[in-house]
Amino acid sequence: MRPESRKYLHDILQAAVLLRRFTAGKTLEMFSEDDLLQSAVERQFEIIGEAVSQLSRIDPETASRIGEYRRIIALRNVLVHGYSQVDSRTLWDLLGTKLPTLQREVQELLQGRSQNPT
């Protein structure tokens, strides 16, 4: 793995940790009513998406070991370019359903335990 790849993986992991910290103990209703929290969550998802995008550019093999890397990049593009289409429920759902898997995959990559996709 290239040294730059590790930096992007660390960025993804740090953003995931922040997302979990920002939203700990919160409900969808609290999230939907808190503009500051929504902005913070969107920003961390943007960072994750950009890091995955850069990783896929410099190290496609490593990026391909992230299960939904193309969808992560697509989310980043929506957040940045189609911000008016962002739905707080969708982001909230991603926090609970997709973020834990992403965090595990990135940790495994950083620890050198990830397998090539079949």
The catalytic residues are 76, 81
Contact 44, 18 (CB under 8 A): yes
- Inter-CA distances, 6 with 50, 96, 97, 99, Å: 14, 25, 24, 19
Q: With CA atoms as reference, report the closest residue to 88 among 44, 34, 52, 47.
A: 34
Contact 58, 14 (CB under 8 A): no
What gap in Å lies between CA 25 and CA 4, rounded to an integer? 34
